[in-house]
A and B are shown apart, each in its own frame.
Chain A
Amino acid sequence: MTMPIRKSHPLFKILNGAIVDLPAPANISTLWNFGSLLGLCLVIQIVTGLFLAMHYTAHVDLAFSSVAHICRDVNYGWLLRTLHANGASFFFICLYMHTGRGIYYGSFLYLHAWSVGVVILLLVMATAFLGYVLPWGQMSFWGATVITNLFSAIPYIGTDLVQWIWGGFAVDNATLTRFFTFHFLFPFIVAAATIIHILFIHQTGSNNPLGIVSNVDKVPFHPYFTFKDITGFIVMLAALILLTLLNPYLLGDPDNFIPANPLVTPAHIQPEWYFLFAYAILRSIPNKLGGVIALVMSILILLVLPFTHAAKFRSLTFYPLNQVMFWSLVSIVFLLTWIGARPVEDPYVLTGQILTVLYFSYYVINPLTLIWWDKMLD
């Protein structure tokens, strides 16, 4: 009997193992769609970004005008630009949904895939930050100034490090050109890290809502999940394109339509919506270095999850008290996002500080509550 070409061809068999014959749990829900949606987001960003890069000029005197030129003179340049900007928002929606699903269902117990996932999250965050600087509007410039200055809080090497990043003594042309270079490069590193992420996932197979071994009830990836993922693609593309066509600047900041001016500081400096929760955590610590550590830890703390989980079941499906705690964490992140967009004044400062404590508390109280619940049922 001859083997089908998809199983014998050295290239096709890799694809076959990933998207055709891959055994996938039959019970995974729509929340498992966000992995493939993230792949789509990456493709959209790389393709639109590539065409934008053909017309963009990374120079402080020309960057703003080159973006205006893209939007006004390049064929469908306005569409490329707004798809790229809103695509970043959808990237983060999918990232947060994907991460949230991993936390809820205990997917972090796949240590390698989870660790690479956290690295990808950090890389995408860095890429988005670098990209936001490129239009060289007021918020681009002042966002870059605020965030790069955070490195100055590092003892001993801080000032030197910041000047090394800037390529000078302030955010200027050297900063813009290198940010453009890294913004162009990072997505390809993200793509490589994604392949490693998928590789690790395929070693173990996907997790599922029950969090139990699902080998007894697996189905081939094709046609079940290919068609399910295509439906997900269409829904997300529809949402992205409709947002882009009906209200393209809804999620942006008006200040970024003002060319960067190092002499005029905007009244409220704030990042895009997807960084606001981390920005609120940063601002809630009065000490600069403490704020930076809290900011970094707000993401890196995801890495402790595999090591603090000592419960009998993997998924929160079987832990009602922890479900309440999980949704409280989600609410806290939403509230931190809101606080991040508020001015630094009472009552927002105190509210932000309380929410920051609650955010980090989850990672301590949740594993203890899991153990307590297990003991209660013993």
Chain B
Amino acid sequence: MPNSEANLEQLEVDFQARIDAEERIEPKDWMPEKYRKTVLRQMSQHAHSEVIGMQPEGNWITRAPSLHRKIVLLAKVQDEAGHGLYLYSAAETLGATREELVQLMHEGKAKYSSIFNYPTLTWADIGAIGWLVDGAAIVNQVALQRTSYGPYSRSMIRICKEESFHQRQGYEIMLKLANGSPEQKAMAQDALNRFWEPSLMMFGPTDADSPNSAQSMKWKIKRKSNDELRQAFVDQTIKQIEVLGLEMPSKDIKWNEERGHYDFGELNWDEFFAVIKGNGPCNRQRLAHHKKAHDEGAWVREAARAYEAKKKARAEKAA
């Protein structure tokens, strides 16, 4: 009676016990359908974010101010492509194909991080992205190294190790600009001001507005709540702003003795939901560019396939 209700209930109890014992779930284990769907959605969203995230930075590769900055930026964007690959592969362990996942994003049914729908207007934005956007991503990903799904957890460990230079190179750009000419310093300040709120929103809606979080925490897909992660990021970043000698990006930033944390005021969640719905400054451009690159690369995939067929035919003939 493999499908009886009692049996299913027992499977779910065993599954939760395994999670509570801090054991990882591996691809061939039994898992509740909703767990599979949630992990798959999160991994695909994460993979799409890595790949779409190449666009705002790629925008400055040809205009980087020196050869050194150019090769560093190239190396970083190259890393993002690799990280997308790790995550798509982890997602594929749950039976989805890469083509399906990409298709869902093209149809607007799968999301990516809304931060990448903001434009990179100046060189300082590249500094702000490395420092703040990668910094926020690292806070999130360090927690996810202990996520319950084995392949996801292992890709996070690999990614965190490789990403340690991303934030430092961004901060170094900011440091140079903040100690440069008044114009350069103003540029750094402007980038900080524009990327501050969107970076804090990368952690997702407040816990009160995040209805699926409780189940994800119980299954240990998420290890810390959105608000906890956001606070940790704010607390570590304030000192870094001070060292740059820049002004705080919001007048609401104040040390709160009672909480032992920095307050940072209310975020503009209307904007967050508008961007998620597709109405950010660059949503259409990002998707259109991804589709175009994908379509224009079709001949490469076809040529590789044709070459393989030709090699096989030749080998058969020789045999």
Decide whether A and B are members of one complex.
no
| Chain B residues near A (Cβ < 8 Å) | none
| Chain A residues near B (Cβ < 8 Å) | none
